[in-house]
Amino acid sequence: GLSYTWIFNNDTLSLRDDGRRFVSQETGNLYLAKVEPWDVGTYTCVVSNREAQQSAWGPPTPLTLRSDGVMGEYEPKIEVHFPETTYAAKGSAVRLECFALGK
């Protein structure tokens, strides 16, 4: 299996005790819930395969804050795609998820 790690400014990004950041081990995506000034820097994704004892590094990607505070074309877009009806057996647990992504 593959595992994903992110490098931030040449150090492994620590996710302990940080409810703002999450790395999906399904997609490798890094999610930041709220960007803070100390998040500015360079991010690099590392994909590893322990069985093959190999890793691949993605290109470094800089994160900068806009000085004007305007999102413009990067304004978050929220799309909701729920079926009209969700069925569940009596007494069972149901989980409905909602999230938004922005760039």
pLDDT at 78: 57
Domain 2-101 has CATH 2.60.120.1440: no
Residue 73 has a pLDDT of: 58
For the chain, the domains span 2-101
Q: How many Cα atoms are found within 13 Å in the side-chain-facing hemisphere of 5?
A: 14
CA atoms within 13 A on the CB side of 98: 5
Across 10-14, 49-53, 82-86, 93-97, the highest mean pLDDT is recorded for 10-14
CA atoms within 13 A on the CB side of 50: 4
| Average pLDDT of the segment spanning 58-75 | 74
CB 60, CB 43: distance < 8 Å: yes
Q: Which two tokens stand for residue 63?
A: 């994160």
Q: Can you tell me the distance from the alpha carbon of 42 to that of 34, in angstroms, rounded to the nearest whole number?
A: 17
> What's the whole-model pTM score?
0.63
Going by pLDDT thresholds of 50, 70 and 90, the confidence category of residue 7 is very high
> Which among 3, 6, 2 is positioned nearest to 58, based on CA atoms?
6
How high is the pLDDT of residue 8?
93
